[in-house]
Amino acid sequence: MAHCGVGLISTFPADVLADPARYAEAARIPPDADENERAAAASRRRDLAVAGFAVLRERVDGGDASALTEFHGAAARIASARASGWSDIVRARPLHSAERALEAARAVAAGESAHLADAAVHVAEPGAGPRAFGMCGRLRTYDVAD
């Protein structure tokens, strides 16, 4: 797994952010590598992001507001290729869930309770296989699809 989140952009140094190929290589954890190689790649990725963040923070703390604007621009350029599918993801999952919650809130506000008969407890089982490398450590994925 290259990123924890769909739109996450690492705070790599500006020269890496400026080059999409370098960014992709820096963010990549080779899926076919052995566990030690994958762990080393994740550590390199983390260290590079921390180094980039330190420079970004230093610039911002020093009063250089353009540093954050530059990072935002680089992040948008990097994520733009993936962003076209985000609307479908949001509509299918979080927006759908939010709309269901709003319907339930309207029903309760109107004094209706019939929808409560549909309540259920769900158990999410962890995904099979080893935990993935995320941006902030190891991840265990769960399928929470209804």
DSSP 16-58: HHT-HHHHHHHH---TTS-HHHHHHHHHHHHHHHHHHHHHHHH
User: What is d(CA 81, CA 52) in angstroms, rounded to the nearest whole number?
Assistant: 22
Establish if 145 belongs to a structural domain: no
Please determine, for residue 1, whether its predicted confidence score (pLDDT) is greater than 80.
Answer: no
pLDDT tens digits, 73-87: 999 999 888 888 889
Establish if 43 belongs to a structural domain: yes
| 137 band by pLDDT with thresholds 50, 70 and 90 | confident
Establish if 85 belongs to a structural domain: yes
Establish if 103 belongs to a structural domain: yes
Establish if 9 belongs to a structural domain: no
Specify the pLDDT at position 6: 37
pLDDT tens digits, 32-83: 888 889 889 999 999 999 999 999 999 999 999 999 999 999 999 998 888 8
Establish if 89 belongs to a structural domain: yes
User: What is d(CA 4, CA 135) in angstroms, rounded to the nearest whole number?
Assistant: 6
pLDDT tens digits, 78-132: 988 888 888 998 988 899 989 999 999 999 999 999 999 998 888 888 888 777 7
The model's pTM: 0.70
Establish if 76 belongs to a structural domain: yes
Residues 6+ apart with CB under 8 A from 56: 11, 67, 68, 71
Please determine, for residue 5, whether its predicted confidence score (pLDDT) is greater than 60.
Answer: no
Establish if 49 belongs to a structural domain: yes
- C-alpha dist (Å) from residue 22 to 14, 37, 79: 11, 19, 14
Assess contact for 16 and 23: CB atoms under 8 A: yes
User: What is d(CA 48, CA 97) in angstroms, rounded to the nearest whole number?
Assistant: 36
Specify the pLDDT at position 64: 96
Assess contact for 134 and 4: CB atoms under 8 A: yes
> What range does the domain containing 100 cover?
14-121
Domain count, the chain: 1
